[in-house]
């Protein structure tokens, strides 16, 4: 009884902790890495990233989408990105491939996104780290596609960062619980017209500038002037609301 209450309170504390507070919990690890980097012992610094456990306050438990009733452990993307910036100074999105959108006879739609990140110590004076990430999101129908595509992009970035090592949650779970299974039966790619319609719906459905910007790569890769104008108009609208 008391143990259960303690666990609940600890989970609540982790939930209400600020990003700054969670970062402070990892400061001893960051300091060790900083010292090795100053000595230009980059391989040794990277070894710490690969082998150190993440602070307990970083870890959250989420419901598994693959096994109903089970949980899996994860780290929030914003925390992972903050830690990467703290260690490396920056992390560039090297490339993000155009999402592969497919649907099956039941009407389910899958979106797969592949991205590559690159980071390095001391503004390029040492070896580069190129990280690949992939994510597939599945929704029940085409109407939900505008929600699935940005989420797949974010998860691809998260899965790329995880490849840095243990500190970023690479070994938190035995299985890749955060990835949905791709559609396998009677897979069919969307037509160009269906893709344009899905992107348009995504632009219109965006509630914040951050949501909208997740569509930018897709919008400009299509080279459709009407859609680009819609994107820019929506962006100005959202930014004016904030200001």
Per-residue pLDDT tens over the stretch 29-50: 999 999 998 898 888 998 999 9
The per-residue pLDDT for 55 is 95
Model's pTM, two decimal places? Answer: 0.65
The per-residue pLDDT for 3 is 44
The per-residue pLDDT for 182 is 40
Residues recorded for the chain: 243
* Mean pLDDT taken over the chain: 78
The label of the residue with tokens 């299509």 reads 222
- Check: CB of residue 200 under 8 Å from CB of residue 215: no
Residues 219-230, mean pLDDT to the nearest whole number: 82
Residues 219-234, mean pLDDT to the nearest whole number: 84
Segment 48-93, tens digit of pLDDT: 999 999 999 999 888 776 677 788 888 998 899 899 999 988 777 7
- Check: CB of residue 207 under 8 Å from CB of residue 93: no
DSSP 8-state code for residue 180? P
DSSP 8-state code for residue 40? T
Does position 132 have pLDDT exceeding 50, yes or no?
yes
The per-residue pLDDT for 14 is 56
- Check: CB of residue 61 under 8 Å from CB of residue 12: no
d(CA 77, CA 154): 8
Residue 74: strand, helix, or coil? strand
Confidence of residue 165 (pLDDT cuts 50, 70, 90): very high
Does position 23 have pLDDT exceeding 90, yes or no?
yes
Confidence of residue 179 (pLDDT cuts 50, 70, 90): very low
């Amino acid at each position: 009884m008391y143990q259960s209450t303690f666990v609940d309170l600890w989970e609540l504390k982790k939930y209400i902790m600020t990003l700054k507070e969670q970062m402070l919990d990892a400061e001893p690890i960051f300091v060790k890495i900083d010292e090795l980097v100053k000595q230009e012992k980059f391989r040794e610094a990277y070894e710490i990233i690969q082998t150190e456990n993440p602070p307990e306050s970083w870890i959250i438990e989420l419901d598994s989408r693959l096994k109903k009733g089970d949980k899996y452990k994860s780290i929030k993307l914003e925390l992972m990105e903050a830690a990467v910036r703290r260690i490396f100074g920056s992390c560039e999105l090297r490339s993000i491939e155009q999402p592969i959108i497919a649907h099956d006879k039941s009407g389910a739609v899958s979106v797969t996104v592949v991205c590559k990140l690159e980071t390095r110590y001391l503004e390029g004076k040492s070896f580069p780290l190129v990280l690949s990430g992939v994510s597939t999101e599945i929704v029940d129908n085409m109407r939900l596609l505008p929600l699935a595509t940005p989420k797949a992009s974010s998860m691809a970035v998260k899965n790329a960062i995880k490849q840095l090592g243990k500190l970023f949650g690479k070994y938190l779970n035995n299985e890749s619980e955060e990835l949905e299974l791709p559609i396998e039966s009677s897979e069919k790619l969307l037509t160009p017209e269906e893709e344009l319609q899905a992107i348009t719906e995504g632009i219109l459905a965006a509630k914040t500038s951050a949501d909208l910007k997740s569509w930018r790569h897709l919008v400009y890769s299509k080279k459709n002037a009407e859609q680009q104008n819609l994107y820019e108009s929506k962006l100005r609208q959202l930014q004016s609301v904030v200001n």
